Structure 1
Amino acid sequence: MTGDDPDQLDPGKRDIMEATYSALTKHGYGDLTIQQIADEFENSKTLLYYHYDSKDALLLDFLDYVLQQFLADLPDASESPREELETLVDTLLPTTVDDDPYRVMLAMFELRVNAPHDEDCREQYLAVEDELADYIRDVLARGVDAGEFEPLDLDVETELLVSLLVGTRARRLTVYDPDESIESLKAAIRAHVDRITAD
């Protein structure tokens, strides 16, 4: 994991993360100030300023918080490998998105755009992609062993699926409205899963 388990967070830090979420839904990333986050924080604002001396420092922690929630929400092994893969697609790529979650997803994307210029941000995204790749590779390996998937080059297939999922998520945030369906994009990924599924 790249940071704290979201279920094990100190309540004060969780409150700060929730205040950040609320401020992002109201103001977006570009116009966000640390004062706007403080305005959403019900506890002592001096506590927020004690922990974070800048918006960027706070948002980097928030990025870690969101990424840990994402990792915690990955499907478990109670389904068949193919069903796990399909659930993963639905988790990462909801067909439509409500406005508030969309604004936070967009803020995370805007942070990602900063990654080439921010080593800490880049390292967090690399870590979460590594965990996603490990998860996908495990699902594929179990599917091949069970005869559910065709024999595969696991490394190549894992890289392809990570790139498809991350790239499609970027397309969802840059060229689709939140309430606009991305079913056609998801159908293309499902068609690929069909191709690797054993007859």
Structure 2
Amino acid sequence: MNLENYGKDMDPGKRDIMEATHSAVKKHGYSDLTIQHIADEFDRSKSLLYYHYDGRDDLLIDFLEYILSGFLANLPEKGTAPRNELDELINLLLPTTINEEPYRLMLAMFELRMNAPHDQAVREQYLEVEEELKAILEDILRRGIEANEFSDINVEVESEALLSLLVGTRARRLTVYDPDQSIEILKKAINSHIARISTADS
């Protein structure tokens, strides 16, 4: 995972904490993560962690923002073929197989997401990311219609459907599939849906 675009607007000290948290989460996951695990990955004093944060859960709210904003910053840039852009986005969100460490991070983000019904700060972070993803999907579909790559569909409805498919499939991959287990069949199901709105497949 390339951290170059992560935490660009953060205070350097906080960014160092986020990078240490990232390393700790990849090793220990979310449920077993402790402040000591983060301190073990941190080059500075553990007291600096407590200077910025009251505890693990407080720190993880900033970590969630760090990861999600970095994820958005690393999304594929606009190209000339909207259908290809959509395929790129799907592959980024849903790699067919995945190594153990990236899987741990994805799983930690999923476990944090489960706190959203009870934590407004977490809910707001995920709402922001989903709105951004939906806007990206709408833009791809609109440009695809103009380029005659997609049929004349209701862009808002289709982008909502695709977002739900992507989020739901990502949840399934994290709950019922092993990290190195292929999810090709799940991606084929998504591609089957896309084929129904693509002019090249009609």
Q: Deviations over 1:40-80 (max 9, x none)?
A: 11122222111111111111111111101211121111241
Aligned to 1:43: 44
SS at match of 1:6: coil
Q: Deviations over 1:145-168 (max 9, x none)?
A: 111110010111010000000000
Aligned to 2:69: 68
Equivalences for residues 142-157 of structure 1 within 5 A:
142-157=143-158
Equivalences for residues 184-195 of structure 1 within 5 A:
184-195=185-196
Aligned to 1:159: 160
CA distance in 2, matches of 1:106, 1:5: 19
Instruction: Please say if 1:110 is aligned against 2:111.
Output: yes
Deviation, 1:22, is: 1.2
Deviation, 1:196, is: 0.8
Deviation, 1:135, is: 0.6
Equivalences for residues 14-53 of structure 1 within 5 A:
14-53=15-54
CA distance in 1, matches of 2:16, 2:150: 44
Q: Relative to structure 2, which stretch is displaced further, 6-15 or 111-120? A: 6-15
SS at match of 1:194: helix
CA distance in 1, matches of 2:152, 2:65: 35
Aligned to 1:181: 182
In structure 1, what residue type is equivalent to 2:119?
A: D
CA distance in 1, matches of 2:144, 2:13: 42
CA distance in 1, matches of 2:46, 2:160: 44
Q: Deviations over 1:6-61 (max 9, x none)?
A: 33433322211111111112221111111221121112222211111111111111
Runs of 4+ in structure 1 deviating by more than 6 angstroms, as ranges, are none
CA distance in 1, matches of 2:86, 2:166: 11
Give yes or no for contact 2:99–2:180 (8 Å, CA) kept in 1: yes
Give yes or no for contact 2:138–2:159 (8 Å, CA) kept in 1: yes
CA distance in 2, matches of 1:22, 1:6: 15
Give the TM-score, by structure 2 length. Answer: 0.93
Q: Give the root-mean-square deviation of aligned CA atoms.
A: 1.4
Gapped regions of structure 2 (runs ≥ 5)? none
Aligned length: 196
Aligned to 2:199: 198
Matched-pair identity in %: 62
Gapped regions of structure 1 (runs ≥ 5)? none
